[in-house]
Chains A and B, each alone.
Chain A
Amino acid sequence: DAMVIQNPRYQVTQFGKPVTLSCSQTLNHNVMYWYQQKSSQAPKLLFHYYDKDFNNEADTPDNFQSRRPNTSFCFLDIRSPGLGDAAMYLCATSTRTSGGETQYFGPGTRLLVL
């Protein structure tokens, strides 16, 4: 059964047209992450939520916003997508224990900007 679900798997948008990517989880994890991954590069952390606490990376453009209305759902909003925002967007969840942390990744949403 899917534990971290991302919808849609492929998203096409127009230059400058706002787009929202969705992530949901059935694991009840308190931490959720959004990463951007471009071809042949490592995933780059955009931001993460620890419960309701939002943590933005210093170099994440203002064009990227996130919402977490409840434990299960997290959204990535791109207000005005540019051609350079075309990438795979990965959602991950984790729970932190004294033993460490394991992330569970969703399959990703591939965003194409026309």
Chain B
Amino acid sequence: GESVGLHLPTLSVQEGDNSIINCAYSNSASDYFIWYKQESGKGPQFIIDIRSNMDKRQGQRVTVLLNKTVKHLSLQIAATQPGDSAVYFCADLCSSASKIIFGSGTRLSIRP
């Protein structure tokens, strides 16, 4: 992933609707991808991960989709709740480089 600048894009979603957060990565050698949630004043928290040999993985209320052709990752949150308000980051790992790099974040805000 690449950090792309100073201004976080914001996604505003009605409570109860589904949220889709997108992320592009640049390293075609990356083989492991992670989504993190970061609440204000806290460290990032692991949400879900996916390996490059998969294109979809589901967790509790969350789904990650991976499109390696266009180097795109998305996080879907079902039935968005107020507690989902946070900044969401994607990150990728290239096993040969052995380090996790964060991509740009998206701020998710929930409308009541």
User: Which residues of A line the B interface, CB within 8 A?
Assistant: 4, 31, 33, 35, 40-45, 48, 50, 55, 90, 92, 94, 96, 99-108
User: Which residues of B line the A interface, CB within 8 A?
Assistant: 1, 3, 5-8, 32, 34, 42-46, 49, 51, 89, 93, 98-105
Main secondary structure of the interface of A (DSSP, over half): strand
Instruction: Name, among B32, B100, B102, B103, the residue most crowded by chain A CB atoms within 10 Å (CB to CB).
Output: B100
Q: Which residues in B have their C-beta under 8 angstroms from that of A44?
A: 3, 102
The chain A residue sitting closest to B103, CB to CB, is A42
Q: Does A42 lie within 8 Å of B89, measured CB to CB?
A: yes
List 9 additional A-B contacts (Cβ < 8 Å) besides A100-B49, A101-B93: A40-B7, A41-B5, A45-B102, A90-B43, A92-B43, A101-B32, A102-B34, A102-B49, A106-B43
Closest Cβ–Cβ distance, residue B83 to chain A (whole Å): 18
Q: Which residues in A have their C-beta under 8 angstroms from that of B89?
A: 42-43
